[in-house]
Chains A and B, each alone.
Chain A
Amino acid sequence: MPTPNQTGPNAAANHRQAPDHRRAVWLWLSLAATAALAGLAIYGSFLGTFRMEGTASARQFFNGPVLAAFWIALTALLIAGILFSSNTLRRGPSLAMHTGAVLVLLGSMANSQAGHRLANRLFSSQKIQSGLMQIDQGQTSNDVYDGSSPAPAARLPFALRLNTFSIEYYDNRPTAAAAVKSYTSDVDVQADGRTVAHAAIEVNRPLHYGGYHFYQCDYDHQLGRYTILAVTSDSGLRWVYAGMALACAGAFWLFWIQPAVAYFRRGGPPSQEEN
């Protein structure tokens, strides 16, 4: 523990920082968590390759019960670090980065399958996490499929009408693989028998309505008569984005702005001894 009556050149430094042995505990905890997550990420990158299912098996693995315990432990460790470790971590930029990480983790929990099941039970709501919609041109539908059965897995409280589906090609220099420029589904959102919104859904331009994002996903390859839209819930998304923004702000503040301010105060580059 820092001793308040200590004098000499190191006294100020000792007041600011926790003693070595306490810092060592937090160092090892943070390193263990970082190494565990890095190891899991590398393990996960191989999952799809051996089972030939693409990223679906990795998604399943990271959403499983064992990993759920890991995510909760990681979040708890970050919160404990913010509350109980050194004062350095509670100072502006460091706090921003670690709080950002907590927000991303909590938001992702809210956005997960398990998070939706929990929220539906708690608030007796009926929100789905993700699914697919197939709509014929000129038809209206609110059925969402999960890909496992021919019957719809859920029904949205509003419906989408597909006005037109169109494909635009690059007119000049078409190459075999990438000749398509864009896929567009022109849709109306209908609730209580009237149209409440209209959108042209393209790749990179989803529709956001009623707590869901709708993406251009696939289409009728033979006749171009129907479109397939991917539906994803937006639960927790604001927290995730806020956390990312906070973490970025903290990182640029600590590692760019503060050294730049020091540079201009000093009037030149740092000496070989300074940080």
Chain B
Amino acid sequence: MGLKWTITGAFLYAAMAAWVLSLAGHAAAWACRRRGALGLGKILGRLGWAFGGLGFAILAAGFIYRWIDVRHLPLQSMFEVFLALGMLTFPLGLFCQKFLRAQGPAASAAMGLIVLVPPAFVFQATPQMLPPALRSWLFLPHVGAYLLAYVILVMAGVQAMGCLLADAMGQPEAAIRRELATYRLVRLGFPLLLLGLVLGAVWGKLAWGDYWNWDPKELWSLATFLIYVAYLHVRGLFGGRARLANSALAALGVAGIAATVLWVNLSRFFLSLHAYAR
């Protein structure tokens, strides 16, 4: 644990402050709407959106600053990757709410805040030079596809957990709604997960001589990918009827993503070719 007294750190903390206010605004708006104060609820909701947008703008500026500061695409260290993941929660949450009706604004703000906690207080932000293996045009597409997929699929997992919770609390209508939201989000995230895997294979072929190297990170991404393959088979063959199984698999997918991103990279336990992403 430790605060970051750097310019990147200042961007990061300012964005987190904005998102705390955004979350508070959306929560207050929700409470007002429940009590029938629709006018005040609308104003507070807009305030929540404004702070959400402000936090995103600050993070985007911080990302660009970091890019100039380290002189390469800042997606190398865990610090940089989580900064980008946090930044993506806002536009992706907005997209999923507007076009898929599958994500609430408060959930996006809360997710963004949680994702920013490790880079803010845990991960080292020391800038590093790019090793030769990372100097490739596939750097942005491979990592970018995975980042987008992970944010979307974690959103799907949150909806799936909401579905399980609603069923446990005896609210089948809410459960059906959340199951459908889960499906729409997995549909959006799955092709990106596959693209990330395929681009990784192409890059592996170019940099390491083989498109598949049986590396722990590769194997965990494959296992995670297969959880969503299983989900799509159950959902495709039995639709919303298999609500419990669907939601359990989508929630399990989040565990797979967490293992791939955090455990494989951070533990000294795995000897991974992806070790430079520590």
Query: What's the Cα separation between A263 and B184 when bound, in Å?
Result: 12
Q: Given A35-B230, A48-B216, are A256 and B188 neighbors across the interface (CB < 8 Å)?
A: yes
Q: In the assembled complex, how far is the CB of residue A58 from the closest CB belonging to chain B, in whole angstroms? A: 4
Query: What's the Cα separation between A175 and B238 when bound, in Å?
Result: 55
Contact B214 A31 (CB under 8 A): no
**Which residues in A have their C-beta under 8 angstroms from that of B239?**
275
Asked if A66 CB lies within 8 Å of chain B CBs, one says no
Q: In the assembled complex, how far is the CB of residue B241 from the closest CB belonging to chain A, in whole angstroms? A: 10
**Which residues in A have their C-beta under 8 angstroms from that of B212?**
108
Contact A175 B209 (CB under 8 A): no
Dominant secondary structure at the A interface: helix
Least CB separation from A43: chain B residue: B219
Contact B132 A181 (CB under 8 A): yes
Residues of B185-222 whose CB lies within 8 A of A: 187-188, 190-191, 194-195, 198, 201-203, 205-216, 219-220, 222
Contact A203 B219 (CB under 8 A): no
Q: How large is the interface on A (under 10, 10 to 19, 20 to 34, 35 or more residues)?
A: 35 or more
Asked if A147 CB lies within 8 Å of chain B CBs, one says no
Which of A23, A204, A232 touches B238 (beta carbons < 8 Å)?
A23
Q: Given A204-B207, A259-B187, A263-B99, are A34 and B233 neighbors across the interface (CB < 8 Å)?
A: yes
Contact B98 A269 (CB under 8 A): yes
Least CB separation from B190: chain A residue: A255
Contact A175 B129 (CB under 8 A): yes
Contact A255 B188 (CB under 8 A): yes
Query: What's the Cα separation between A215 and B208 when bound, in Å?
Result: 8
Asked if A205 CB lies within 8 Å of chain B CBs, one says yes
Contact B180 A275 (CB under 8 A): yes
Contact B211 A55 (CB under 8 A): no
Contact A248 B136 (CB under 8 A): no
Q: Given A59-B214, A180-B132, A204-B207, are A272 and B191 neighbors across the interface (CB < 8 Å)?
A: no
Which of B98, B133, B211 touches A203 (beta carbons < 8 Å)?
B133
Q: In the assembled complex, how far is the CB of residue B71 from the closest CB belonging to chain A, in whole angstroms? A: 8
**Which of B59-67, B79-87, B267-275 touches A?**
B267-275
Least CB separation from B197: chain A residue: A244
Query: What's the Cα separation between A7 and B249 when bound, in Å?
Result: 36
Query: What's the Cα separation between A27 and B229 when bound, in Å?
Result: 11
26 examples of A-B residue contacts, CB within 8 angstroms:
A31-B234, A34-B229, A35-B226, A35-B230, A45-B216, A48-B214, A48-B270, A48-B271, A49-B271, A55-B214, A58-B214, A178-B131, A183-B132, A206-B209, A230-B209, A240-B211, A248-B194, A248-B195, A251-B191, A255-B187, A256-B188, A269-B100, A269-B101, A270-B100, A270-B101, A275-B180
B residues apposed to A, CB below 8 Å: 98-101, 128-133, 135-136, 177, 180, 183-184, 187-188, 190-191, 194-195, 198, 201-203, 205-216, 219-220, 222-223, 226-227, 229-230, 233-234, 236-239, 264, 269-271, 273
